[in-house]
Amino acid sequence: MIPKLPANIDQIKGFLADDEALALYRYALQASANGPVLEVGSYCGKSTIYLGLACREHNGTVYALDHHRGSEEHQAGEMFHDPDLFDSSLGLVDTLREFRNNIRAANLDDTVVPLVSSSAVVARQWCTPLAMVFIDGGHSLDAALCDYRCWSAHLMQGAILAVHDLFPDPHKGGQAPWAIYQMALQSGLFEELERVNTLGVLRRL
């Protein structure tokens, strides 16, 4: 199932492969019939658009959580730093403007609710059960553990937990997303549905 995508989707900055993006759309389309979707780590909005297009089919909502200051690997001097997203006047990465422009261009302002903060802050008083959570935030172990612990508890029964950038082989990528994915499986609270490229998909039992 392929959604009608914005004409500029391939030009939107991001690190999501096409097969991963379509899998996100497919699972969000199912999940959003039951409740809202929350994404951790929106960057410039590419994954958010796929989630948003799915949720719009059910008049649903995507909560797009990101502090928009970039993950560790996006900072100046790091491997994935993008100078176009660096605010030299502040000396900080700032992806919020690009994100909002992309969401507006995709006509998803009524579907996507930006949450400009961290998991720890937003989850502190969060009460809404979630039908799907997509974790693609900071890739340090502390950041990934925080995202998992903050949001896995808010998944309703049967909800989807998707985690991006899974690399079982440490020579191919960072291990923090893989660690929380394994933690979820070992908890006995989740079953694995499938792996698509570096995207893992679990269901809350």
Domain residue extents for the chain: 16-204
Superfamily of domain 16-204: Vaccinia Virus protein VP39 (3.40.50.150)
Question: pLDDT tens across 114-171, in order?
Answer: 999 999 999 999 999 999 999 999 889 999 999 999 999 999 999 999 999 999 998 8
Q: Is the pLDDT of residue 41 over 80?
A: yes
139 is catalytic: yes
Name the pLDDT band for 63 (thresholds 50, 70, 90): very high
Q: Are 199 and 15 in contact (CB under 8 A)?
A: no
Q: Annotated catalytic residue: which of 67, 68, 74, 139?
A: 139
What integer pLDDT is reported at residue 128 of this predicted model? 98
The proportion of the chain whose per-residue pLDDT surpasses 90, expressed as a percent, equals 74
pLDDT at 173 over 80: yes
Residue 121: name the closest of 180, 200, 67, 197 by CA: 67
